[in-house]
Structure 1
Amino acid sequence: MGCTNKAQRGKVVVPNNISKINASYPSKAKLQIKQKDSSGKQTGISSIAFNFTKPFLFSAENLTLPNVTHVSRCVLPGIDPRGENEKKCQDICLYIYNKEDILLALFDGHGKEGEKVVAVCASVVESFFKENIENYRENPEKFLEDLCNSCDSNVKTTGNGIDSTNSGSTAVVVLVHNNSIYAASLGDSRALLGTGLVSGELPVPKAQNHEDNKHKYPLIQGIIPVQLTKDQKPEDPDEYARILKNGGIIKRINDNGKQIGPFRVFDSSGKYPGLAMSRSIGDSSGSSLGVISTPICTSLPLNNKEKFIVLASDGVWDVIDNEDVVTFIENFRKKCLQTCSPPVQVEASTTIIANLLAEEARMRWLNIISEEDVMIDDISVIVLQFKENE
Structure 2
Amino acid sequence: MGSCLSAESRSPLPGSPLSPHLANMKRRNTKKRLGSRSSSFDYRKDEPLHRIPGRLFLNGSSDVASLFSQQGKKGTNQDAMIVWENFGSRTDTVFCGVFDGHGPYGHLVAKRVRDHLPLKLSAHWEANISSEDASGLNAAGSMNSEDIDLLLVEESRASEDLKETEKHPEIFETLKESFLKAFKAMDKELRTHPSIDCFCSGTTAVTLVKQGTYLVIGNVGDSRAVLGTRDKNNSLTAVQLTVDLKPNLPAEAERIRKCKGRVFALADEPEVTRVWLPNNDSPGLAMARAFGDFCLKDFGLISVPEVSYRHLSEKDEFVVLATDGIWDVLSNQEVVDIIASAPARSSAARALVEVAVRAWRYKYSTSKVDDCAVVCLFLDSNSNNLSIASRGKTKLQPGSKNEVDRDDDKEKDNRDELTPLIRPGTIEEGNEDPSKHEEMNSDGGTDWSALKGVSRVNTLVNLPRFVPGKEDEEGLLK
TM-score bracket, normalised by the shorter chain, equals 0.5 to 0.7
Alignment correspondent of 2:261: 248
2:362 corresponds to which of 363, 367, 370: 367
Query: What is the distance in 2 between the residues matched to 1:259 and 1:121?
Result: 30
Q: Which has the larger radius of gyration?
A: 2
Q: Retained in 1: the 8 A contact 2:265–2:271?
A: yes
Alignment correspondent of 2:219: 185
- Which string of whole-angstrom CA distances, capped at 9 and with x for unpartnered residues, describes residues 301-356 of structure 1? 11221100000000000000111111111222xx2153xxxxxxxxxxxxx10111
1:116 corresponds to which of 108, 114, 120: 108
* Unaligned segments of structure 1, at least 5 residues: 1-55, 63-69, 81-86, 199-219, 339-351
Say whether 1:101 aligns with 2:93.
yes
Alignment correspondent of 1:315: 325
CA RMSD across the alignment? 2.0
- Which string of whole-angstrom CA distances, capped at 9 and with x for unpartnered residues, describes residues 172-216 of structure 1? 001112421111111110001111148xxxxxxxxxxxxxxxxxx
Say whether 1:128 aligns with 2:120.
yes
> 1:291 Cα deviation (Å)?
0.4
2:210 corresponds to which of 170, 176, 197: 176
* Deviates further, 374-383 or 268-277: 268-277
1:229 corresponds to which of 237, 242, 252: 242
Q: Retained in 2: the 8 A contact 1:304–1:388?
A: no
Report the number of matched residues: 279
1:162/1:186 CA distance change after superposition, 3 Å = same
Alignment correspondent of 1:356: 351
Alignment correspondent of 1:57: 58
Q: Retained in 1: the 8 A contact 2:203–2:292?
A: yes
Query: What is the distance in 2 between the residues matched to 1:303 and 1:271?
Result: 48
1:379 corresponds to which of 358, 372, 384: 372
1:337/1:188 CA distance change after superposition, 3 Å = closer
Alignment correspondent of 2:26: none
Normalised by the length of structure 1, the TM-score is 0.68
Instruction: For 1:1-390, list aligned pairs within 5 A.
Output: 57-62=58-63, 70-80=64-74, 87-98=75-86, 99-136=91-128, 138=171, 139-159=174-194, 161-197=195-231, 222-254=235-267, 258-260=268-270, 262-332=272-342, 335-336=343-344, 338=346, 352-370=347-365, 373-387=366-380
Q: Retained in 2: the 8 A contact 1:249–1:270?
A: no
> 1:234 Cα deviation (Å)?
0.3
Q: Retained in 1: the 8 A contact 2:95–2:118?
A: no
Question: Comparing both structures, which one devotes a greater share of its residues to helix?
Answer: 2
> 1:162 Cα deviation (Å)?
1.3
> 1:268 Cα deviation (Å)?
1.9
Q: Residue 195 of structure 1 aligns to which amino acid in structure 2?
A: T
Q: Retained in 2: the 8 A contact 1:88–1:115?
A: yes
Q: Residue 171 of structure 1 aligns to which amino acid in structure 2?
A: A
1:331/1:168 CA distance change after superposition, 3 Å = same
Q: Retained in 1: the 8 A contact 2:58–2:82?
A: no
Normalised by the length of structure 2, the TM-score is 0.56
Query: What is the distance in 1 between the residues matched to 2:79 and 2:379?
Result: 25
